[in-house]
Chain A
Amino acid sequence: MSAVRPSHLAGIALLVVLAVLPALPGMRALLFPLTLTNIMATLAIAWNLLFGYAGLLSLGHSFFFGAAGYASAILSKSYGIPVPVAMVIGAAVSSGIAALVGLPSLKLRGHYFVLVTLVLPAVAYQLTNALDVLGGHDGIFGVPPLVRDSYAVYLGSLFLMLASLVASAFVIRSRLGVEMISVREDEEAAKALGVDTPRVKLYALMISAFLSGLAGAYWAHLNGVISPSVYELEKASMPLLMSVLGGKGTLLGPVIGAYVIQTLFESLKIEAIATARLFVFAAATFAIYRIFPQGLMGVLRRVIG
């Protein structure tokens, strides 16, 4: 192990603050929005692992998020499977579908993969709307919670985000991570270096879908309900905006982006401008991207360095 760096201490301090803050008197109103933030941050971490490191653009991560949410909701509600187990199975379902979809589409050159990811949530939206076994338009109600106590649920979401971060860090430092980066940089060069590019892309997609699925399942059990609206534009675009704003291809970027965007989101809570809000974030995000391709992480590095 290398020596403890100031940045590590700062990280631990920040974590303690995050863990304790909403438990303080008068701060309980923060519990739900912060839980949501951690879930969105997890989704952003998963998206960034795929795009920021393997260079694969997904415009439909809401699909992996929602499919696991649905699977976990049904398994726990209708089949009595314990929630944590149902969540993992749900995430595995998302990962499995990712493999089925990725196997053919990742072999093709060009933008086929992007198109496929764009179509997935649209199809899922239609299917869940139409099928009564999936709850139809109203979705599935009475999804059992992971735990009753909302502070425990919050701590769980913090743990989920941290675990995803650690998992990402582990992947990036592994041989698979190095190969993902080579694919992002130049797929032909990667092949010449002996990198099995179709396999690397498939694994990256499956891991990303699994983490997205955990986030989606957590979200379904948090809300107690999941409906086709999960497949609408917001859940698909948010991880992209959060990662690009925070810094794509950096470990912490998605987390920073998630916290900034969700905080702004909560403070601008007027339903009438919901769509405009998304547009404003997109415009702001890409303005920042133009100046700092590494997002807020880039700004931070410049300020510190």
Chain B
Amino acid sequence: MSEVLVTRDLRKSFGGIAAVNGVDLTVREGELTAIIGPNGAGKTTLFNLITGFERPDSGKVYFMGRDVTGEKPYNLARMGLIRTFQIVRPLRNLTVLQNVLIGCRVRGLGPEAAEESLRAVGLWEKRDVLASLLTHGELKKLELARALAMRPKLLLLDEPLGGLTFSEAEEVTGAIREANANGTTVVLVEHRLRETFRIVRRVVVMNQGRIIYDGLPENVAKTEEVVKAYMGGRGWVLGT
């Protein structure tokens, strides 16, 4: 299988603190992978480095075999490297549908792509509602729908289940699984492990800017270093 994403020794510090401290990550076509780790582990920063929202201090990012280190985020998005934000960023004065259509238009896709993605996350009925009037759960779904509508080659989701009710989370994991089944390579950052482990086939654990585990979901809790990392932070997470 071909490599969609490769990072080589990625590093990024903020004021002397290494947020990402030498990450080598390879993602192959068709994967559905979770990145987990305590708060402050560097997961969001890693996404920012990959998608061009932050420039790495050193290291390389390859997307579809091309060196895209330091490439502008909008160019990467047009190439099919699409991300969502942990803290939702809706276009508040636009309707749900308008939010989704912009990305379609930029990617040269028709309105069918918008409808398809809104149906996938269960927001089609709300298409004419202003984004400013949505609940938190609906905003999270909109964030996902906007990304899906751009027909990503690689989709990076930053805590797509954050703050969702159980039934909302079920809808969202369903949509993610469906997108993956249709050929989209997905990497998601999550804290809700029970629901995440049900759909992913690979888990990467980060701690203090490094990858400390990379393998099957079943073996994560058996790995001493992972357990220690979580006990040092918020021990509840692995209990699931």
Contacts and interface: CB of A to CB of B under 8 A. Distances in A.
A178 B94 CA distance: 10
A40 to B, nearest CB: 27
Contact of A194 (B89, B90, B93, B150): B150
B90 A195 contact: no
B106 A193 contact: yes
B91 A191 contact: no
A181 B147 CA distance: 18
A185 interface: yes
Interface stretch (B16-24, B70-78, B230-238): B70-78
Contacts of A227: none
Given A178-B105, A188-B53, A194 B77 contact: yes
B63 to A, nearest CB: 14
Of the four ranges (under 10, 10 to 19, 20 to 34, 35 or more), the interface on chain B belongs to 20 to 34
A290 interface: no
Contacts of A197: 74
B78 A192 contact: no
A192 B106 contact: no
Where chain A touches its partner, the secondary structure class is: helix
Nearest to B82: A192
B89 A182 contact: no
A190 B107 CA distance: 13
Nearest to A196: B74
A175 B107 CA distance: 11
30 contacts: A178-B101, A178-B102, A178-B105, A179-B102, A181-B91, A181-B94, A185-B93, A185-B94, A186-B89, A189-B85, A189-B89, A190-B74, A190-B102, A191-B73, A192-B51, A192-B73, A192-B82, A192-B84, A192-B89, A192-B147, A193-B77, A193-B102, A193-B103, A193-B146, A194-B106, A194-B107, A194-B150, A195-B106, A196-B74, A197-B74
Interface of B: 51, 53, 72-75, 77-78, 82-85, 89-94, 101-103, 105-107, 146-147, 150
Nearest 9 pairs of A and B residues by beta carbon? A185-B91, A194-B77, A189-B89, A194-B106, A193-B103, A191-B73, A194-B78, A191-B74, A186-B89
